Amino acid sequence: MLKVRKFTCENLTYGCVTDEPHPCFSFSVDSDRQGAKLEKAVLTVGNWSTETTRQIAVPYAGEELQPFTTYEALLEVRDDAGETAHSRISFETGRMDTPWKARWITDGSYTFTEKKVSPVPMNFRYRFKTDKKVKSARIYATAMGIYEILLNGEKVGDEYFAPGFTSYKTRLQYQTYDVTSHITRENELNVVAGGGWAVGSFVFTRKNRISADRQALLLELRITYADGSVSVTGTDTNWEVTEEGNYREADIYDGETYDATVCLDKINWRKAALEKLKIRPRIFAASGAPVRAHETLFPKSCSRTVKGLVYDFGQNFAGVVELSIRAKKGQKIIVSHAEILNPDGTLNTDFLRTATARATYICREGVQKYSPKLTYMGFRYICIEGIAQEDVEVSAKALYSDVEEQGTFCCSSSKLNRLQSNITWSAKSNFMDIPTDCPQRDERMGWTGDIAVFAPTACWNFNMSRFLDKWLSDMEAEQLPTGGIPNTIPAQGYGFPATMPAMAIEFWGDACILVPWALYQAEGDKHVLEKYYPMMKKYVDACRFWAGLFSAGKHRYIWNTPSMLHFGDWVAPDVPQMSQWQKRSKWTATASLCNTSGILSDIAEILGMGQDAEKYRKISKRTADAYCSILTDGNGKLKEEFQTAYVLPLYFGMFDGPAKEKAVDNLVRLVKKNDYCIGTGFPGTPYILFALADNGRADEAYRMLLNEKCPSWLYEVKCGATTIWERWDGLDEKGVCPIGDDGTDQMISYNHYASGAVGDFLYRRVAGIEARKPGYKRFKIEPVPGDGLTFAKGSVETPYGRIVSEWKREGDKFTVHAEVPVGSQCTLKLPDGTAEILESGRYERHCRLTGTDRQERER
Ligand code: BGC
């Protein structure tokens, strides 16, 4: 039977509210008939209809969409046997630039000038009556700060941290809430706005008031009555405001203080004042992936310590606690958070730096619940003070952006399975409206380098379309006229040292190429390339410019600007000092230029820009040539050797012929000498196993992957890690942090996804799934079995449906099970070299294992 598997508008199956004049539709279909092909699809919206076989991002091209309107989209599909199926979704248009009737309001009498802290949360209130029957009601809202709306005492929507984090000076999201069912005759709107990223303290320098001097609110309520009339009211001076509400403090890093004894009817309210913002952003319908509560976690244990009750959730994550409390009025409960414990069982908060990460709750009388709303923490452990164990029930909610999980990986090694789980937990913990570096200390910033290397792995495990597209738009908005990309996006107060992004920085700036490219490979939507092409081009031109400065001849392709202006082989464990990581920038930057210009050339080709394609291909080739002739002996041996310096040119295809084989031998020599431990920093870590496995050294790759000696992926697992660490040696086997005062001791996070970039290898080589055409229109399944694993399975939800590759080995018998979605085609390659092309359906194939397997070879 044929059926529609997924049908989306703007990558959402439901709840899409968009300001796009041409929203895009995508769909996948399933059939239980082997070889089924999609023959045609008809997509209809209103009186517009199109016949297509394209399944990804079909743009609406009918008559102009009207704002504030719900539309139905109908999809009818037919396969090559004449079977049909259909599906329907609805989407809603947002304001589509309709001028706001609402005005920005604030508390005109509130000023805060204190440095390094966040403002007191501001409460807004408005009462109104409705005397006619309501057909539908919507709230459109945004704020300077982060806000939460209550209508008649009930929370509106289920998002955290609205309006989300964007490049506020140019882009600000508004949210749309369907409040039809909330409206009664007499109504009260209550909105609280914390400082968030716009007004509150942010960045490790704890800057505040970056985008606005105090919180402000813009909210419009649009009610359509049963008689067809429409009323629009919005924030204005009829609203009231106060800072005497329940939220006494709220800060992204420091946490929150909530006083439940405060009764909103008994405090002083003032008339709200109109606010003139100091920025003029474009306000558009939220386009990203809002933060919501996902998993509920329950403590695995509780112990009494000198500091209070310590609970262990058994999992490091980002989120908030949820407490059910029985208490006396005025009782004060303090919840502290940490990723690790001290040997005496108390919380170790040393590495949170200035982030206090504490939730304080002042109780009312009786039974009550509390969970922070205007902050979040990265933690595994909490310590509760101020209440007896029997009077509190503890749980926690994982908060992260709504990115749909779309991949699974498992295999016969429980440790690798734990690694996969750690990778996805670190991803979730750091998808907090923007891709962050870590969720716990006073950073949580949109560091570009981290997602640059992690994007392919992210795209295996989650549908990243909306989340990354929104963030890339911020990047585009913040690109400097010189072509450089700020190191954190949104830059929001971070500008140290100011010259660095102006210069373009390898790998960190490369995010503007690597992220859209990963997204395009996974989701197959060319718009992402079209949209960001000018940004990419400007960036690569900047890289090329800086590489060529102050040098002549071939040296113009060796990017050798002073190393303190780079991150180089960031966090490489084989050299201890930050300056030594940075000193490797000559190699990392040159290889990066070769890679980004090469990818840009491919993109230009895809977009039909032949001249550009040729120009960047040349840059890429010349850079590769310069790397080989200047940094190596011309025969695959680096003049100065370290793992990353071999890994990058090998993975980026920079060596030719015999030099390449020599380079592989040399890398293997280094790896063996290092006892199969990792020696790579951010740039080399995602690629080292490919550099080995793709060059005939799968055995060595597996030895490295399965190594448990520090530094290695499984060392962390062996030490009980439940997320990916920033530093490979973050803890010793007794759970104590061994990193001394070496200048990098302030960089110890246990939830940093960058080195989890190895996830790409798990899917692409261990399970063996690889896209050959974007979106997996064509793909291959070619598992690379290795020592130590007897089975592995990878699955991924692609734009065409679910791909599965599952293999097992029993003695020398190798069996693979493959699933191919309708609309795509798979080349299945078995370890014995046999290959065949598979159309949609499920397949099982066998072969005998031969020379790919070390034991076989040694036998
Ligand atoms: C962050 C990193 C980031 C780096 C760059 C660190 O403090 O946590 O992940 O990429 O700085 O300097």
**Structural domain contains residue 121:** yes
Q: To test ligand 1's pocket by mutation, which of 204, 351, 443 has the most ligand atoms within 8 angstroms of CB? A: 443
**Structural domain contains residue 545:** no
What atom of ligand 1 comes closest to residue 487's alpha carbon? 5
135 in the same domain as 280: yes
CA–CA separation, 104 and 218 (whole Å)? 5
pLDDT at 857: 39
299 in the same domain as 282: no
The helix or strand, by DSSP H or E, that contains position 516, with its residue range, turns out to be helix 511-523
The CATH number that applies at residue 226 is 2.60.120.260
Query: Burial level of 658, CB count in 10 A (0-12/13-18/19+)?
Result: exposed
Give residue 97's region: left, alpha or beta (phi > 0; psi -120 to 50).
Answer: left
851 pLDDT more than 60: no
pLDDT at 562: 87
345 pLDDT more than 70: yes
- What is the DSSP secondary-structure string of 615-679? HHHHHHHHHHHHIIIIIB-SSS-BSS--HHHHHHHHHTT---HHHHHHHHHHHHHHHHHTTT---
Q: How far is the CA of 832 from the centre of ligand 1 (A)?
A: 43
What atom of ligand 1 comes closest to residue 726's alpha carbon? 9
140 in the same domain as 13: no
308 pLDDT more than 70: yes
Q: What is the pLDDT of residues 716-752, one digit of tens each?
A: 999 999 999 999 999 998 888 887 776 677 889 999 9
| pLDDT (average), residues 273-279 | 97
The helix or strand, by DSSP H or E, that contains position 430, with its residue range, turns out to be helix 414-430
**Structural domain contains residue 308:** yes
Q: To test ligand 1's pocket by mutation, which of 353, 447, 485 has the most ligand atoms within 8 angstroms of CB? A: 447
Q: What percent of the chain has pLDDT over 70?
A: 98
Hey, which of 548-552, 600-604, 737-741 has the most confident mean pLDDT? 600-604
Which residues sit opposite 49 in a β-bridge?
44
The first and second tokens of residue 444, run together, are: 């949580």
Short-list 765, 759, 762, 771, CA closest to 827: 771
Residue 613: C-alpha distances to residues 285, 826, 832 (Å): 35, 28, 37
Q: Which of 71, 93, 115 is the last residue of a domain?
A: 93
| pLDDT (average), residues 446-458 | 98
**Structural domain contains residue 333:** yes
Q: How far is the CA of 207 from the centre of ligand 1 (A)?
A: 18
Longest Cα pair distance anywhere in the chain, in angstroms?
A: 87
543 pLDDT more than 50: yes
The CATH number that applies at residue 89 is 2.60.40.10
Beta pairing class for 332-338 and 407-411: unpaired
The helix or strand, by DSSP H or E, that contains position 693, with its residue range, turns out to be helix 688-693
Q: How far is the CA of 571 from the centre of ligand 1 (A)?
A: 9
Q: How far is the CA of 501 from the centre of ligand 1 (A)?
A: 14
| pLDDT (average), residues 116-145 | 97
Residue 92: C-alpha distances to residues 11, 18, 96, 484 (Å): 14, 6, 11, 37
pLDDT at 855: 45
CA–CA separation, 25 and 54 (whole Å)? 10
| H helix runs in 462-507, sequence order | 465-478, 499-503
Q: To test ligand 1's pocket by mutation, which of 570, 725, 728 has the most ligand atoms within 8 angstroms of CB? A: 570
| 242 Cβ contact list (under 8 Å, min separation 6) | 107, 122, 123, 125, 267, 268, 269, 270
Short-list 240, 212, 62, CA closest to 143: 212
- What is the DSSP secondary-structure string of 484-496? ---SBSS-TT--S
pLDDT category at 852 given cuts 50, 70, 90 is: very low
CA–CA separation, 57 and 87 (whole Å)? 16
Q: How far is the CA of 489 from the centre of ligand 1 (A)?
A: 12
Beta pairing class for 17-18 and 84-93: parallel
| CB of 747 closer than 6 angstroms to any ligand 1 atom | yes
The first and second tokens of residue 30, run together, are: 């399933």
Q: How far is the CA of 507 from the centre of ligand 1 (A)?
A: 12
pLDDT at 572: 94
Q: How far is the CA of 739 from the centre of ligand 1 (A)?
A: 17
| pLDDT (average), residues 543-560 | 93
Q: How many CB atoms lie within 10 A of CB 484?
A: 24
- What is the DSSP secondary-structure string of 720-751? T-SS--SSTTSS-TTS-----SSS-TT---S-
Helices (H) and strands (E) in the chain, counts: 16, 44
CA–CA separation, 519 and 498 (whole Å)? 29
167 in the same domain as 111: yes
Q: How many CB atoms lie within 10 A of CB 435?
A: 27
| pLDDT (average), residues 13-24 | 97
854 pLDDT more than 60: no
| 54 Cβ contact list (under 8 Å, min separation 6) | none
Whether cis (ω within 30° of 0) applies to the bond prior to 711 is yes
CA–CA separation, 712 and 412 (whole Å)? 19
**Composition of the chain by helix, strand, coil, percent to 5:** 25, 30, 40
Q: Which of 93, 118, 140 is the last residue of a domain?
A: 93
Instruction: State the total domains in the chain.
Output: 4
**Structural domain contains residue 455:** no
Say how many residues make up the chain.
Answer: 859
Q: How many CB atoms lie within 10 A of CB 722?
A: 20
| CB of 447 closer than 6 angstroms to any ligand 1 atom | yes
CA–CA separation, 399 and 413 (whole Å)? 29
The first and second tokens of residue 12, run together, are: 């959402």
What atom of ligand 1 comes closest to residue 450's alpha carbon? 10
pLDDT category at 498 given cuts 50, 70, 90 is: low
279 in the same domain as 149: yes
CA–CA separation, 726 and 641 (whole Å)? 24
The first and second tokens of residue 76, run together, are: 């009818």
| CB of 376 closer than 6 angstroms to any ligand 1 atom | no
| 344 Cβ contact list (under 8 Å, min separation 6) | 305, 306
Query: Burial level of 840, CB count in 10 A (0-12/13-18/19+)?
Result: buried
**Structural domain contains residue 594:** no
Whether cis (ω within 30° of 0) applies to the bond prior to 163 is yes
Whose Cα sits closest to atom 4 in ligand 1? 447
| pLDDT (average), residues 434-453 | 97
What's the mean per-residue pLDDT of the chain?
Answer: 96
* Cα 602 off chain centre by: 25
| pLDDT (average), residues 267-287 | 97
353 in the same domain as 236: no
What atom of ligand 1 comes closest to residue 749's alpha carbon? 8
499 pLDDT more than 80: no
Owning domain of residue 306 = 292-401
Q: How far is the CA of 194 from the centre of ligand 1 (A)?
A: 26
| CB of 450 closer than 6 angstroms to any ligand 1 atom | yes
**Structural domain contains residue 438:** no
CA–CA separation, 697 and 329 (whole Å)? 67
Q: Which of 401, 430, 453 is the last residue of a domain?
A: 401
pLDDT at 493: 86
110 in the same domain as 238: yes
What atom of ligand 1 comes closest to residue 438's alpha carbon? 8
Q: How many CB atoms lie within 10 A of CB 666?
A: 19
pLDDT at 576: 81
The CATH number that applies at residue 847 is 2.60.420.10
850 in the same domain as 822: yes
Q: Judge contact between 565 and 503, C-beta under 8 A.
A: yes
| pLDDT (average), residues 606-612 | 98
The first and second tokens of residue 753, run together, are: 């996804």
The first and second tokens of residue 651, run together, are: 């993975």
39 in the same domain as 126: no
Short-list 434, 441, 581, 402, CA closest to 507: 581
Q: How far is the CA of 447 from the centre of ligand 1 (A)?
A: 6
pLDDT category at 588 given cuts 50, 70, 90 is: very high
Q: Judge contact between 200 and 194, C-beta under 8 A.
A: yes
**Structural domain contains residue 74:** yes
297 in the same domain as 237: no
177 in the same domain as 302: no
pLDDT at 496: 63
Short-list 504, 503, 355, 517, CA closest to 439: 355
Query: Burial level of 369, CB count in 10 A (0-12/13-18/19+)?
Result: exposed
CA–CA separation, 16 and 10 (whole Å)? 7
Q: How far is the CA of 493 from the centre of ligand 1 (A)?
A: 15
| 3-state SS, residue 160 | strand
800 pLDDT more than 50: yes
| 115 Cβ contact list (under 8 Å, min separation 6) | 206, 208
| 433 Cβ contact list (under 8 Å, min separation 6) | 161, 164, 165, 288, 289, 290, 291, 401
Q: How far is the CA of 583 from the centre of ligand 1 (A)?
A: 16
3-state secondary structure 77-90: EEECCCCEEEEEEE
859 pLDDT more than 60: no
The first and second tokens of residue 706, run together, are: 């399965």
pLDDT at 279: 97
| pLDDT (average), residues 464-470 | 98
| pLDDT (average), residues 764-777 | 98
Q: Judge contact between 144 and 212, C-beta under 8 A.
A: yes
140 in the same domain as 88: no
CA–CA separation, 196 and 143 (whole Å)? 10
The alpha carbons of the chain give a radius of gyration, in whole angstroms, of 28
| CB of 500 closer than 6 angstroms to any ligand 1 atom | no
